[in-house]
């Protein structure tokens, strides 16, 4: 059965690379600690504020256990 897990991260100016690396670690830790056998899909979407500036990222992981 395919399951879906969502991860979110706030992005701040001049800290984006560190926050993206932390998000990658969070997803990889989830994969290794939950016996994920197959990753079906990974998708990223950005969130914006009222001026159009990117303020966050949502990562969706579809997987099979």
Tell me the CATH number at 51. Answer: 3.30.1660
Task: Say how many domains are in the chain.
Answer: 1
Tens digit of each residue's pLDDT (9 = 90 or more) over 18-38: 999 999 999 999 999 999 999
SS3 readout for the chain: CEEEEEEEEECCCCCHHHHHHHHHHHHHHHHHHCCCCEEEEEEEEEEECCCCCEEEEEEEEEEEC
Q: Find, among 29, 37, 45, 32, the residue nearest to 3 by Cα.
A: 37
pTM of the model: 0.88
> How do residues 34-63 score in pLDDT, each as one tens digit?
999 999 999 999 999 999 999 999 999 999
Compute the distance between CA of residue 13 and CA of residue 65 in angstroms, rounded to an integer. 36
Q: Which domain holds residue 53?
A: 2-64
């Amino acid at each position: 059965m395919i399951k879906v897990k969502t991860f979110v991260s706030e992005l701040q100016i001049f800290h984006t690379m560190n926050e993206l690396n932390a998000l990658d670690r969070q997803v990889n830790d989830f994969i290794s600690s939950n016996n994920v056998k197959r990753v079906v899909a990974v998708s990223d979407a950005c969130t914006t504020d009222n001026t159009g500036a990117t303020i966050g990222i949502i990562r969706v992981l579809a997987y099979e256990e």
